[in-house]
Structure formats: C-alpha cells, structure tokens
Amino acid sequence: MKFFKNLFAIIGLLITILIIYLWFALDLGTRIEQVKQLDPKAKDVYTHMMSTLLETGDIGKATVRKVKVEKGIEPDEVVDALNSVATEMGIKPVGDLPLSKEVALRTGKPQPYTRVLSYCNPAIAIKMVKWSMAYGAYLPCRITLMQDKNGDYWLYTLDLDMMIHGGKPLPPDMLKYGNQVKNTIYTMMDKAAHGDF
C-alpha cells in the first residue's frame, strides 16, 4: 500500500512539474488572454475544422463547404444557375477555368469534370483588402464544380466562416460585408445544386 502511495505522489509531482513547465514554455497565460479576444464563434469554427481534420486527415476537407448537385442537373445548367443567381445578387462572374477540358486537351486523356468559377463584388472586395490586405488571398470568391468517381457532381468553396469568425471580432461594417459575401456564395451554391434559378 505504501508503494502505491509513493508512486501516486511521484506521478502527481511529475504532472505538477510538467504543467508548470508547459505554462511557462508555451506562455499559456498570454495565450489564454489572446484566445479570449477571439470572436465568440471562433471556438465553433475551429472545433468543426479540427473534428473534420482528425476524422479525415485532410485539411482541404476541413476548410471547405460542399453541396451535392441533384441528379439530372447537367454541369452547364449548374454554371448557368450560378451565373444567373450571382447577377441577381449583385456579384460579378470574373473567371471561368474549364480545368478538366484544358488538361484533356493537353494530355489527350479524358478527365473527371472540373470547372473553377470565380466571382467578385468589387465594391466589397476593395473595402475588405483596405481593412486587411490578407483578405486579398480570398479574392476572388471561387466555386468549383467537380464530378466524383461515381459520376455525381459537387460544388465546393472555402468555408467562409473562418474568414468571418476565425479571428478577433470584425468591425460591424466588415462583419456585414463578410456575411453578405458568404450568404451570396452559399445561396448561389444551394440554388444551383437544385437547378433553382
């Protein structure tokens, strides 16, 4: 019995030393204060991202939003719907890269359908990059239409909650613009996936 008491005392001492070491080595006091300054929704954003990452091991899957296109809707119909809804919602189509077609032409081998479409609201985009130049990496907003190995079509875009809620709370005007872009891109995807335009 005395052996176990001594063993637990040693283990307790080692854990205490480890905690003290980590507190100072990782500057946890400062880190805790920094975490408290993040947007209230940041925890949910990163919890979702980490659980997807741990489940799949794929950072790409952890940082995107995807929507399955209903069966029977052809790729050209999806693109027409995206462009129609974009125009209706005040966002401009600014790029169209038929990736699979390009690669097939270069290699002579058919490729799974992949088309990258780019959209931008210039007025909002310039405000976002004036506030933080790093937002330039998110420009223009991209939606990729792809075909999986089963022949199903999917729409992919970045998880825009990371841009909106992943850091310190955005100023009210930037929060409004970020949510406007997110709602526009997500609405475009949802409508196009159901052929609703």
For residues 32 and 86, state if they share a domain.
no
d(CA 171, CA 132): 12
pLDDT at position 10, please? 74
Phi/psi-derived region of residue 112, left when phi > 0, alpha when psi is between -120 and 50, beta in every other case: beta
- Each residue's pLDDT tens digit, 77-121: 999 999 999 999 999 999 999 999 999 999 999 999 999 999 999
For residues 157 and 115, state if they share a domain.
yes
For residues 91 and 188, state if they share a domain.
yes
How many domains does one find in the chain? Answer: 2
pLDDT at 173 over 80: yes
Domain for residue 17, yes or no?
Answer: yes
Q: Using the CB atoms, write b or e for 5-21: b if 16+ within 10 Å.
A: eeeeeeeeeeeeeeeee
Domain for residue 50, yes or no?
Answer: no
CB 112 within 8 A of CB 98: no
* pLDDT grade for 155, boundaries at 50, 70 and 90: very high
- Each residue's pLDDT tens digit, 13-22: 677 777 666 6
Domain for residue 105, yes or no?
Answer: yes
Average pLDDT over residues 139-164: 95
pLDDT at 164 over 70: yes
Domain for residue 87, yes or no?
Answer: yes
Domain for residue 111, yes or no?
Answer: yes
Q: Which pTM does this prediction carry?
A: 0.83
Cβ neighbours for 127, distance < 8 A, ≥ 6 positions apart: 173, 174, 177
For residues 80 and 5, state if they share a domain.
no
CB 8 within 8 A of CB 15: no
For residues 135 and 187, state if they share a domain.
yes
pLDDT at position 1, please? 65
**Residue ranges making up the domain that contains 156:** 64-193
pLDDT at position 4, please? 61
User: Which residues does residue 76 pair with via DSSP β-bridges, in sequence order?
Assistant: none
Among residues 7, 176, 131, 153, the alpha carbon closest in space to that of 70 is found at: 153
pLDDT at 6 over 70: no
Mean pLDDT for the chain?
Answer: 89
Domain for residue 24, yes or no?
Answer: yes
